[in-house]
Structures are given as C-alpha cells and as structure tokens.
Amino acid sequence: MRISGAQMVIEALIAENVDTVFGYPGGAIMNVYDEIYKQNSFKHILTRHEQAAVHAAEGYAKASGKVGVAMITSGPGFTNAVTGLADAYMDSIPLVVISGQVPMSLIGTDAFQEIDAVGISRSCTKHNYLVTDASDLGRVLKEAFYIAASGRPGPVHVDIPKDVTAQLAEFDYTKPVELETYKPTTKGNLRQIKKAVEAIAAAKRPLFYLGGGIINANAAELVREFVHATQIPAVETFMARGTLRFDDPLLISMLGMHGSYAANMAMSETDLIIGLGARFDDRVTGKLSEFAKNAQVIHVDIDPASISKLVNAHYPIVGDVKNVLEEMVPLAKESVKPERYASWRETIANFDRLHPLSYNEEGDRIKPQWVIERLGQLLGDRANISTDVGQHQMWSAQFYPFTRPRQWVSSGGLGTMGFGFPAAMGVKRADPERISINVTGDGSILMNIQELMTAVEYKLPVINVILNNNYLGMVRQWQTLFYDKRHSETDLSVQPDFVKLVEAFGGVGYRVETKEAFDAALKDAVEKNVVAIIDVVVNRLENVLPMVPAGGSLFNMMLLEKKEKK
C-alpha cells in the first residue's frame, strides 16, 4: 500500500488500537492533522497546552494500562511537551509522543520553529527517532509502541519532518518488531527464584517492599496472594498505592520521607527486604549508609540497570514481576511458614500503636487531612484519585483509602506541579464510569488552569478539590522547619476567585469553609457530573508529618507530638 507519511501515522495508530490522542496542531505537523480530520477511528482531544497533552496521555496510560499517545508540533510545541516526557520517563509510563519537524532541507538552518527535538528528548525518553524517509515510518512507529510498552515502560519520541509526512511510500505494518540490541528479560532465573524463596523461609523479620513496577506489570493480584500466603508484612512506595487494599492487616502503610512511623521503622528493623518492582530511590531510602543496615535484599525488577544501582541486591532477579511471581508464589506456599513471623508482626503493630498516622483536628479551619479522609469515606472505590505536587499530594497518599491498582495517579519521580488536572482528564477518558478527582493546591492548579476549557469542551467532568492554604505549602513547610521561618516567595495570599474562574470556563465552582459545606459541594458536583472546582479553605500552616529530613536516616523522623494525636 503506497500512501503518504501522514496517512501512515493514522494507519499505525489504528493498527495499535489507539482510541484517544491528545494534542495540539501547528505548521510542521499539519499534514498529519489533515488526515486526522478525515478519519473516525479514534478521538482527538485538543488540549490548550502541549504540556497538558502529554500529562493527559500519561493519565490515560496509568489508568488504562495502555500506551498513551500525544501529538505536537515543532519548536515551542515540542519544548512545551518536554516536561511531560521527563515526567513519564521518571515514572516509567508508556507513551508515544509524535512531533512535527521542519522540512529536511531546513534542518540546521535555524528555520522558523526549528528545534533539535531529538537532541533535547534524548535524556528524557526511553528511545527517540528522527524519521528522514517515509519508507521507514511504518517500522519506526511499530517499534515505538513496542518499546514504550515492553520491558520497563517509558516514553518514546518520534520526530517527523513535514516533507516526510508528505512523501509517498510503501506502508507495511505486518512485519514483526526485531531489535537486535533490545531484548528485555521477562522470565526470572529459576535458580535465583529458588534461592530467594529459601531466604524468605529462613528470615525472621522479612518485609515486602512493593513498588510501582507491580502496577505496570498488572501483578497486584499475585502480590496479594503472595502476601496473604506468607503473612509477611508489606510497605508500599508512593507509586505502589493500591497494590494492597488500605484495610489489609498486612499492609503497614507507605514508607519514605513522608511514610508512616511503623513503615519506616519496619524497614529499618527488617532482616530481609523482598523488593518487587521498586527502585530504592532517595525518597524511600533516606541516608543510604543507614538504610536497612541489617537486611539482605531480594530485588525483582525488569530493568537490570535498577538492580544494585543504589542498594546491593543479595538475590537479584531480572524479569517481569508478574512472571517472576508466577514462579515464586507456589514455591513460597510450599516452604514458608507464616507462624514463623508472628512476633515480627506484633513488633510492627507496636510501632503503629506508638505513633499511628494521625493529625491534630484542633483549629478554626478545616484540616486538609480531613478533606482526604472525607473524600475516601464519601467516594471510596468509586473514584480515581489524581494529584498535583505538594503537601496535598502527600496527604492524599497517606490518608486516601485505596482499594485497587490504577486508582492512584500522581507525579512521583519528577514531582511536576501542573500534572494533576490534565492527568485527571486522561484518567476520565480511560475510565469514564468512575469519578475522576484531582486533589490539588492553590499553587499547582494555576499551572495548567487553561485545561478547564478542554475538560468542558470534551465533557470530561473532573472534580478539582483545591486544598487552599494561600501558600506554596511544601516549600513553606521546608522554610519553616529548616530555614528559620524565612518564607521567601511562598506566600500566595493574592489569588483569583476560583469559583468565578471555573464558571468563566463553563464549569461549576464552590468555596468551602466548613465540613458541612464540603459534603454538600462534593455531593452536588458528583450529581451534576460537570467540570468543577471545590475551593476548600484549609489551615494555612499545617505540615505533612511524619517527615524524614533530606539526607536523614529513615528511622529518624519528625513526628506529630503525641498530645496532638487524633
């Protein structure tokens, strides 16, 4: 079949069963957009900013488990999208981002809207391409989707010069992908798996360390089976929330910089870490030389570069977490004796009784933690929770009652303010039957506020819950604790009227100062099923606790004073 490069893009998306593309057109990608106009196989959603297009594709990918797709033009179109690429790269989110480029004859001439997109994206993509011949386009696009979804997932960038989208060439999408230098190991080494199970059976204080790779691998059910069969306690990373149900007695909580006292102490006292799809990043480990000093480490990960990168693995297993657990769980059921760990479970329960995850309810204003708890009580499993970045993000991770994988969508590794709202649009597109909530702050929401127009136009009824403290809250917290209360450029007392703002875009708004008003606003927003902002006036100086100071040891936490315990 001899067709244009632009037509090839459309045919490839159809062949990959893409149902949604988020994007923003421009001169260099115009030929492709002309073909989008002619087709009806997938929905294109016009965001109001290219960064939002990529974040929306991320939210779609995280909620659906499929590859998210974004399309942008050259120059500033691409540079606006770089933050989304970097965010997806850090959090292992499968994306294909297609950008237009100036014609081949103009590359290197500083032409209008020319930028070295491939050079810029090299450090923040799993792989990237500059397609110089339309005859290569079918192969490249097929490889892009394969690379994005296989192995450790990630974003793939395909840059296409405008004249290449106009070229005619043969298109064949039937050939299998064959990449000599890219062959991910998906099956774990059986000898290593057996050794790991033997180590579990011999341990006295083992601990499951559950990471976001479990969600990517769709391995949560196997993890639940493993945990329950062995009765070994578990901690989750920020990215793994929802792997175990919030009310599972073996789930301690989230660990790390803002993890619970029990989770961080359990990690500090364990003699065997069973790491599944986690990368031992700095927000989890704290001071590396003090991290789990008495523990041996089982590390299962599909990315060989992650194993022993930061923490030495005594039992390294390279492979897809789901495939490895299919081999490991039956062996563990045969040899691991759950009663062996009874005293260990009691030790952890004592940690939790000593310093439970809690907050002080006193004060004139609503406490932000209460808002998250109340969302969970009123919506629970019916909602998917996206967040922006800051204090509200940590409170959401700490206090929302997650029940399932892919219920939690947030920016982890890059910590991108402005992520939450467009991601929540992508989540709603991927999972339309559930309520899409974006928990945000009065700082973060303004970073992609223009997407109110996108959400209204395409009837993506995201409910934005703003925990409004008139501060850049997390930065203010650090300034309070570590900079002698010098609140440099973090006061946001001058802010828009968020109710009028959302109404101007065609949504509904609520300003909330009491618990009763919050309940009424949430009920009304859910019933109306429209784009909404609930602007909740919360305590201005509330801190996220526990907190491990940067570079500090995991067991050396700043805690809520006991007298203030809820």
Residues carrying an active site annotation: 50, 112-113, 162, 474
Closest alpha carbon to 321 in 210, 395, 174: 210
The torsion of the CA quartet 124, 126, 131, 137, rounded to 10 degrees, works out to -140
Close Cβ partners of 149 (under 8 Å, ≥ 6 residues apart): 67, 94
Contact status, residue 90 vs residue 152, Cβ threshold 8 Å: no
- Cα angle value 118/124/125 (rounded, 5°): 70
Closest alpha carbon to 443 in 418, 480, 410, 463: 418
What are the percentages of helix, strand and coil residues in the chain, rounded to 5? 45, 20, 40
Which amino acid appears at position 388 of this protein?
A: D
DSSP 216-242: HTT-HHHHHHHHHHHT--EEE-GGGTT
Contact status, residue 43 vs residue 19, Cβ threshold 8 Å: yes
Name the DSSP class of 160: E
Q: How many CB atoms lie within 10 A of CB 551?
A: 9
Q: How many whole angstroms separate alpha carbon 300 and alpha carbon 321?
A: 6
Q: How many whole angstroms separate alpha carbon 510 and alpha carbon 563?
A: 34
Q: How many CA atoms lie within 13 A of 490 on its CB side?
A: 20
Q: 151: left (phi > 0), else alpha (psi -120 to 50), else beta?
A: left
Name the DSSP class of 558: B
Q: How many CB atoms lie within 10 A of CB 30?
A: 14
Q: How many CB atoms lie within 10 A of CB 552?
A: 15
* Residue carrying the six token digits 């004139």: 364
